[in-house]
Amino acid sequence: MDTILNITNFKFNKPYFPQSEILELFNISETTLKRYIAECKSANDLGMFKIDGVRQNMFEPKMFLNWLIENKINGPQQYDYQKAEVDNLKTNITKLTRGTN
């Protein structure tokens, strides 16, 4: 599964998604997403933004995917649980390219 992940291979049917749909699209838990937000220097790096009148955070999927690739998949993996998380992310991202997620 050591394929090179190229962000241009991914097509999304909307320019941005509410948080609940990002969780489903990338098959991650809300707790994991909250951890990513806490780890991130800026919410903008994750592609996260607010829209007045909308309760959920909104995400630009390509920016979110790019952050995942740069910071999680290609980032340092010191512990076994980090390696397992990266393996799960790779599997889920591969499903995105196939349109099976």
Torsion from C-alpha of 32, 73, 71, 95, nearest 10 degrees: -60
pLDDT of residue 63: 93
Mean pLDDT, consecutive 10-residue stretches, the chain (101 aa), reads: 57 92 94 93 91 95 91 86 88 71 44
pLDDT of residue 92: 82
pLDDT of residue 97: 66
Kindly state the DSSP code that residue 59 receives in the 8-state scheme.
E
Closest Cα partner for 62 from 4, 19, 8, 1?
A: 8
Closest Cα partner for 72 from 45, 34, 36, 27?
A: 36
Q: Domain coordinates of the chain in residue numbers?
A: 11-85
- Look at the block and give the residue holding tokens 């076994």: 80
Q: pTM for the whole thing?
A: 0.81
